[in-house]
Amino acid sequence: MAGCGLWRAGAAARASRALWDFSGSRRSLRTSVRAPAFAKELFLGRLEKKDVFPFPEVSQDELNEINQFVGPIEKFFSEEVDSRKIDQEGKIPMETLEKLKSLGLFGMQVPEEYGGLGLSNTMYARLVEIVSQDGSISVTLAAHQAIGLKGILLVGTEEQKAKYLPKLASGEHIAAFCLTEPASGSDAASIRTRASLSEDGKYYVLNGSKVWITNGGLANIFTVFAKTSVVDSDSSVKDKMTAFIVERDFGGVTNGKPEDKLGIRGSNTCEVHFENTKVPVENVLGEVGGGFKVAVSILNGGRFTMGSAVAGMLKKLIEITAEFACTRKQFNRSLSEFGMIQDKFALLAQKTYVMESMTYLTAGMLDQPGCPDCSIEAAMVKVFSSEGAWQCVSEALQILGGAGYMKDYPHERLLRDTRILLIFEGTNEILRMYIALTGLQHAGRILTGRINELKQGNVTTILETVGQRLRDSLGRTVDMGLTGNLGAVHPSVADSASKLEENVYYFGRTVETLLLRFGKTIVEEQMVLKRVANILINLYGMTAVLSRASRSVRMGLRNHDHEVLLANIFCTEAYSQNIFTLSQLDKYSPENLDEHIKKVSQQVLERRAYICAHPLDWTS
């Protein structure tokens, strides 16, 4: 659950317009120029098979290596972690934290040279599956390394890494990420915390407050974002965000009492205050004025592991719930015999399979040489997994009925824990805008010439477009090389692959139409952006399961026929959803109710109330 904590990290962007403007062996973390990634090409109606087929694999040596960690960690969580007690007491016992440190879990992605495990993204995701058995522990560890110390890994100097990473990797020091403030949630660029350079130029004086900081009361090291005065290229002085590494021992650092939260109650979440804290200039993280980029890089980098975290939790939940359903009798039959209960288990299995596939496909791409920019893919994994978690835990609780509402079973705690997933690491609303706008900007750059020709009435381009749309209306056959003798997918999922190809083609045509219709004003069309993001999430999920299921069948993995069932079910449902959503993107389609929705919302918000007359009323 990389990047977890109660930081309102819609911080990936200031707002929709800023999103549009900004998008402008053991493996070490890479910071080189990134290659284009898979998802952006979907906006052009292209399916780049080389990035996603075949499904990524790890070597046998890597698998053996990670399995050395898996056993002891699973044993610890099953035998020594009391999640119910952690939830009730609102804290993780000190002996539990010490054991986590001894297992190396505070330095999973810190390079070996600094005392960490140096895990690749794929191996990190595998351990996150186990750590997620307790939400509070998962959040504590993720806030420490996925965001707390991640900035040092990504942009820290060699001196900063050598000074801070060894003690952070061992857990001797704990890290926190300080971005969110009382007046700035998703609008990260509106922070008010300020760092002023001293007259001698040797340190910054930091003043301000941060809220909802995970590990805020435990941390020794803070990644803090503050406004600084920066001389711009035109010699004007502007306020820009800068990132700092701040030690508690610098002085002037205090924290409030732990927040009383709905879920993940054992994690430490509190306000952190900085009063005249002197931060040496050598503790600037990245460039002065480059804090926004640092924040975005940190948050974008780790979101994908929410998929493995949720999948790990759901696997355990399926076991507990299935045991109940198979032993609980009603009407002289086991609950498991009833169709609507079976439907819920199929949903649980399907969602788990899809998010797991999306996660490890993304991790595999991140581990490739050249480190492609997978920020869209990671955001899609986060949105799908967080919403899948909330839906699946609710359905699992429903299977237990009244028993699920009681604390004897973990379902009610998991329901409380999973609700935060839709909010932190970037709210799903902000991330949907990020997904859509980043891809649309990529398509816009490439399609600008063609769109301008259409607007200017270029006859050749217009005739070409009319011809394309005529062929589309007559039922175009789309072949992107997924099926057939030389196809990328196994014949058992060929029909689903054809559905994906069709969806991708028509998505690309729709993107072109939207750019022609809205131009840059599309940044204000949030209902349109939501639909674009939803289609893309489905397309990525379809790609991931088709790639994974094909590999499983060809390798003869156990229960590969079950994977084929799950892949085909998801692809059929996603295909239908995409067809409907694509129709909604047509302004004049009867399925498009945007104007009605806006009108209802305006009338409610103008009165700040539900405005319908009571059904028992006779007159106004």
Pairing between β-strand 194-197 and β-strand 284-285 as defined by DSSP bridges: unpaired
Give the end-to-end CA distance of the chain in Å, rounded to a whole number: 53
Are 179 and 188 in contact by the 8 Å Cβ rule? The answer is: yes
- 425 catalytic? Reply is yes
Burial 16-47 (b: 16+ CB within 10 A, else e): bebbbebbeeebebeeeeeeebbbbbbbbbeb
Q: Name residue, tokens 């979101």.
A: 303
DSSP labels, 123-145: HHHHHHHHHTTSHHHHHHHHIII
Residue 514 to residues 119, 194, 440, 459, 523, Cα–Cα distance (Å): 42, 41, 9, 20, 11
Q: Where are the alpha helices (DSSP H) in 179-232?
A: none
Helix axes 526-555, 428-455, angle to 10 degrees: 100
Q: Please give the Cα distance from 339 to 285 (Å, whole number).
A: 56
Are 153 and 165 in contact by the 8 Å Cβ rule? The answer is: yes
Residue whose C-alpha is closest to residue 478's, from 450, 497, 458, 451: 497
Q: Please give the Cα distance from 341 to 489 (Å, whole number).
A: 32
> Exactly one of 271, 387, 395, 425 is catalytic; which is it?
425
Q: Please give the Cα distance from 161 to 406 (Å, whole number).
A: 47
Pairing between β-strand 237-247 and β-strand 284-285 as defined by DSSP bridges: antiparallel
Residue whose C-alpha is closest to residue 357's, from 73, 28, 122, 124: 122
Strands (E) in 419-508, as ranges, are: none
Q: Please give the Cα distance from 378 to 139 (Å, whole number).
A: 18
Q: Please give the Cα distance from 360 to 63 (Å, whole number).
A: 14
Burial 596-617 (b: 16+ CB within 10 A, else e): eeeeeeeeeeeeeeeeeeeeee
Q: How far is CA 438 from the centre of its chain?
A: 15
Active-site residue numbers? 425
